[in-house]
Amino acid sequence: MYPVGVNAATTAAAAIAQAIKASGVIVKVEPNDLSAILAKSKAPIVVVAESGVFRKHSQYLTSYKGLAFYTTSPEPLHLPSDAEIIHAGKIWIPG
């Protein structure tokens, strides 16, 4: 049995992935640029995952004005208090 929220995370990640497929655009930005984008958004949705075997890093994915923005960071980012956080097992970005 999955913990509460995993199905929601999977659904949200699938929805973002479908939107990315439809638009075909993922913008890779630096962590501070993603933080600036999140600061402009009202109640942003942020998908967060950890990756890496030997060195862990956090991955973040959000959308803003129809584009998907993605970044990785060796340290967790400070996210806005009004952000809806979706914890995903993995974020896969093509390319």
CATH code for the domain of 79: 3.30.720.90
Query: Which pLDDT does position 52 carry in this prediction?
Result: 80
Domain, as residue range, for 27: 6-87
Q: How many structural domains compose the chain?
A: 1
pTM reported for the whole predicted model? 0.74
Residue 52 falls within a domain, yes or no?
yes
C-alpha span between 9 and 89 (Å, rounded):
9
Residue 92 falls within a domain, yes or no?
no
Q: Are strands 26-28 and 67-73 parallel, antiparallel or unpaired?
A: parallel
By CB atoms closer than 10 A (0-12, 13-18, 19+), residue 71 is buried
The tens-digit pLDDT sequence of the chain (95 residues) is: 445 556 777 777 777 667 656 556 789 999 999 999 999 999 999 999 998 888 889 999 999 998 999 999 999 999 999 999 999 998 888 76
Query: Which pLDDT does position 22 carry in this prediction?
Result: 58
Residue 1 falls within a domain, yes or no?
no
Residue 95 falls within a domain, yes or no?
no
Query: Which pLDDT does position 53 carry in this prediction?
Result: 81
